[in-house]
Amino acid sequence: MSPIHDVTVKSISLRGGEMNPERFFPWIQKITQTEGPNILRLKGIIAFKGDEERYVVQGVHMIVEGDHQRPWKEGEKRESRLVFIGRELDFDKIEKSFLACQANASTPMPA
């Protein structure tokens, strides 16, 4: 094992409410294309408004995939959680654009 720890690798943990799929899917595609070389890993569980199943998303660099996992359990909090692990990721920009994907978001999508 190497005694060198790569301090440039950081994680970004995001939480939000139910997402609008018409905002989320273009956003995740854009973020992985623009930040892909810096994204070592991403994974999350997404709650889409009106969707009775949890959506699991994962990715490495510019490759992202997702699928429905299982129905939300009774009493289970319907929230979206997403984690990025990478280098030189802009937390504020990623968080702001992620939150703009929420179903109740009234702000326009950031450029």
Domains of the chain: 9-99 (3.30.1220.10)
pLDDT digit string, tens, across residues 100-110: 999 997 766 55
CB 56 within 8 A of CB 25: no
Higher local confidence (pLDDT), 110 or 45: 45
The mean pLDDT value for 53-72 works out to 96
d(CA 7, CA 9): 5
**pLDDT for position 95:** 95
Q: Could you read off the pLDDT of 65-85 as tens digits, one per residue?
A: 999 999 999 999 999 999 999
Q: What's the CA angle centered on 76, arms 20 and 68, to 5 degrees?
A: 50
Question: What is the arrangement of strands in the sheet containing 39-46, beginning at the earlier edge strand?
Answer: 9-16, 80-87, 39-46, 53-60, 63-71
Residue 106's pLDDT is what?
72
Does the structure show a pLDDT above 60 at 1? no
User: Structure pTM?
Assistant: 0.87
DSSP state of 38: G
The percentage of the chain sitting over the pLDDT mark of 90, rounded to a whole number, equals 84
* Long-range pairs, 31-38, Cβ under 8 A, ≥24: 31/94, 31/97, 32/59, 32/61, 32/62, 32/63, 32/64, 33/62, 35/86, 35/89, 35/94, 36/61, 36/62, 37/61, 37/62, 38/86, 38/87, 38/88, 38/89
Chain mean pLDDT for the chain: 91
